[in-house]
Chains A and B, each alone.
Chain A
Amino acid sequence: MTDTDLLARLAADRADGMEALLRQYGPLLRYVIGGILRDSLDAEDCLSEVSLALWQKLDSYDAARGSLSTWLTAVARNTALNHWKARRRRDSHAAEAEPASSDTPEQAVLRRERAEQLKTAIARLSDRDRQLFYRKYYYLQSTAQIAAEMGMTERAAEGRLYRLRQRLRQELGGDDA
């Protein structure tokens, strides 16, 4: 079923369309979530959260801004990341250790500038390095998973990630390790 068919089905019957969407894109959502949440129970919990989020946010999807799979990936990734953070806070009982991240206007501007710098730096990477970067920092995949899927040994993946990180640190002016 094409994305257009799927969206038409969602518009006609939300529940039926949602079922079709989850059937078609379920493996993709599981793949994105599984890279961030290694625990299978956590991942299942998160999938439910993602389903709920999709149900709520589906109207905000704009086909002109990107493909459905890109949007679903972003929703799954962000939900899984939040899930992971919440889980970490619960585990460490450290709600107070991690202050609420409400930026001041100056901080927000700085963050946006930094994001722009990062976008430029990513655009300069080779295709392979760019994929490595996205897998590591967007999909938050483990080095083992990255290595297997990119046909590298773990050691080679670590080395390449290390060099990539050093390069970005240099370009973005991050802290020296």
Chain B
Amino acid sequence: MREWDAFDQELAESMTEIPPAPEAVRAVTPWRMSIDRIVLGLCLTCFTLNFACLQYILPAIGTANLYLGFRALRKNNVWFQFGWICSICKVTLLYISLVLNATPYADIFPVSRTVLQAAATLLLFAALRQALRQAAAELGQTSQKDPVLWALLWYLLIIFLALSWPEPGWLVGGAVMVAFVCIIRSLAQAAAELDAWGYAVRAAPVKIGTARFQGLFYGSLLALILLCTLFFNHIRLTWTAVEQNFDSMEIASTEERHLGFPREMLAYLPPEELEKLAGASACVYQPNDINGKMGGHPFTTSGTMVYLGGGTARFYVLAEYDDEIDLFWQNLAEFGNSGVDRWDGACYLAYQKDGITYQTAVPVIERMETVDNFFTGPTEETRIRARYSFPVGAKSRTCLFVCTLQLWDLDQNTPGTSYYHDSIVNFYRDRFPIRYPYQIFEDGTSSSRDLAQYCQLFEFHTRLH
């Protein structure tokens, strides 16, 4: 009050006549704000709600509050300090984990992040218990009921239930809810005990205020997640500028052309594909009867199947995207259910920009999957997929998607009959790039994805051997 002027003095003097209301007196403590943060933090981090992104939002709020709570009390005793260090580890782990979730590298941790987070929460429960006990003991106080120990035991029960029943039913879910309510009750009791002796607790000074810390923490986290989401939802490919030389290609593939291989598709075949067609004996070309739309814009497809002998064929589907279709985010080409063996997939992309043609080969993903077939039931089948993005400003974009099919088994072939092969190829486009956690484009189940299909029937005669 030494530096106070008359106005300050007057305010202080006036307060003698108008003392604060009981609730205002109750709010002025050195511990309430910090302990409330710790209680809130422990409550929000000891359970998971897997909907509406709450599995990310609630732990983020809880962990930040744990850090802020322990930070303010860290100078009281060694256990509060230990809790503060644990909360730093927890907040760092959560931060890295939430950012990594927005990238394809979410699984690089050698130990499960859930296990680490649960271990950190257990340590925080233990640290809080010891810290409160030590602080109370210094004042000659003892806790009769030890509520934080009970909270810790209830948390252990939640962990046990979560490990024993990873997909809980109503009964286990109810037990978890009861345990959670008991944790809240125990922690509230622990906070209430401080009403008696908590005034001896001292709050530590801080270099970054609570509001600024929260702003920096949540702001940077959100910004990084958004940036990573956008960055990783565009697939970077190495494009090579090529000089289109249809004449040389025409010479090299005279044999294919004679079989009826369409000239427009031939232009996109790299030399290694042409080599695979050596010895081809038949070729069927099928433009898609119904040209689909993608994002309201025309989308054209055509397919060619080249018989290679031995019941196998090389199947080419060319997708030509309209220039108006936005293909900057993840796109997916996928061979649909076929009921035949497939292998040796390939995907070739091309686009034009400023009069130059760019091409690249996209790595394909081939994986055995169980496909639920309406007629035959679940069957194992090789799924072939390719994911790609085009750069900004790309025009005349095409995707040539290829695989080899085992059309029929020669041993079971009946001469004189025809063989029909029904082929479906799905082309997906991601409309909404912000998807959290990061998901590779593996199926078309998301509602924010556009689908255009190539669907045609190919006919071969079994006299082909």
Chain A residues with a Cβ under 8 A of chain B:
24, 27-28, 30-31, 66-67, 69-70, 73-74, 77-78, 81, 84, 111-112, 114-115, 118-119, 122, 127, 130-131, 134-135, 137-140, 144-145, 147-154, 156, 165, 168-169, 174-175, 177
Contact with A along B14-47 (1 / 0, CB 8 A): 1111111110111111100110000000000000
Known: A31-B199, A115-B14, A118-B11. A70 touches B205 (CB 8 A): no
22 contacts between A and B (CB under 8 A): A24-B196, A28-B199, A70-B22, A81-B12, A131-B24, A134-B15, A138-B12, A138-B20, A144-B205, A148-B202, A148-B204, A149-B29, A149-B30, A150-B33, A151-B209, A152-B211, A153-B208, A154-B205, A165-B7, A168-B11, A175-B7, A177-B5
CB within 8 A of A78: which of B16, B30, B196, B204? B16
Q: Say yes or no: B210 contacts A149, CB within 8 Å.
A: no
Interface of A is mostly: helix
Give B30's nearest chain A residue, CB to CB: A149
Known: A31-B30, A70-B22, A153-B206. A137 touches B5 (CB 8 A): no
Contacts of B207 in A (CB 8 A): 153
Q: Say yes or no: A137 contacts B199, CB within 8 Å.
A: no
Contacts of A74 in B (CB 8 A): 19
The CA of A154 and the CA of B6, in the complex, are separated in Å by 23
Contacts of A77 in B (CB 8 A): 19
Inter-chain pairs besides A30-B199, A77-B19, 14 sampled, C-beta below 8 Å: A27-B199, A30-B200, A31-B200, A78-B16, A81-B12, A127-B27, A134-B15, A135-B28, A137-B8, A147-B206, A151-B33, A153-B206, A169-B7, A175-B7
The CA of A143 and the CA of B168, in the complex, are separated in Å by 51
The CA of A135 and the CA of B32, in the complex, are separated in Å by 14
Q: Say yes or no: B15 contacts A137, CB within 8 Å.
A: yes
Give A32's nearest chain B residue, CB to CB: B199
Q: Say yes or no: A70 contacts B25, CB within 8 Å.
A: yes
**B residues 138-195 touching A (CB-CB < 8 Å):** 139
The CA of A114 and the CA of B14, in the complex, are separated in Å by 8
Contacts of B227 in A (CB 8 A): none
B15 to chain A, nearest CB (A): 4
Known: A73-B25, A81-B16, A174-B10. A149 touches B203 (CB 8 A): yes
Known: A30-B200, A31-B199, A135-B28. A67 touches B16 (CB 8 A): no
User: What bracket does the count of chain B residues touching chain A fall in?
Assistant: 35 or more
A35 to chain B, nearest CB (A): 9
Chain B residues with a Cβ under 8 A of chain A:
1, 5-8, 10-12, 14-22, 24-30, 33-34, 68, 72, 139, 196-200, 202-212
A133 to chain B, nearest CB (A): 8
The CA of A150 and the CA of B332, in the complex, are separated in Å by 53
B212 to chain A, nearest CB (A): 8
Contacts of B211 in A (CB 8 A): 152, 156
Q: Say yes or no: B22 contacts A66, CB within 8 Å.
A: yes
CB within 8 A of B203: which of A67, A111, A118, A148? A148
Contacts of A134 in B (CB 8 A): 15, 20, 24, 28
A67 to chain B, nearest CB (A): 5
Q: Say yes or no: A138 contacts B206, CB within 8 Å.
A: no
Contacts of A111 in B (CB 8 A): 14, 17
Known: A118-B14, A165-B7, A165-B8. A27 touches B197 (CB 8 A): yes
Contacts of B33 in A (CB 8 A): 149-151
Contacts of B1 in A (CB 8 A): 84, 140
Give B7's nearest chain A residue, CB to CB: A174
Task: Report the 3 A-B pairs with minimum CB-CB distance, sorted nearest first.
Answer: A151-B210, A27-B199, A31-B199
Known: A28-B199, A151-B72. A69 touches B25 (CB 8 A): yes
Contacts of A31 in B (CB 8 A): 29-30, 199-200
Contacts of B198 in A (CB 8 A): 27
The CA of A154 and the CA of B204, in the complex, are separated in Å by 12
Give A1's nearest chain B residue, CB to CB: B196
A146 to chain B, nearest CB (A): 10
The CA of A165 and the CA of B7, in the complex, are separated in Å by 9
Q: Say yes or no: B8 contacts A27, CB within 8 Å.
A: no
Contacts of A131 in B (CB 8 A): 24, 27-28
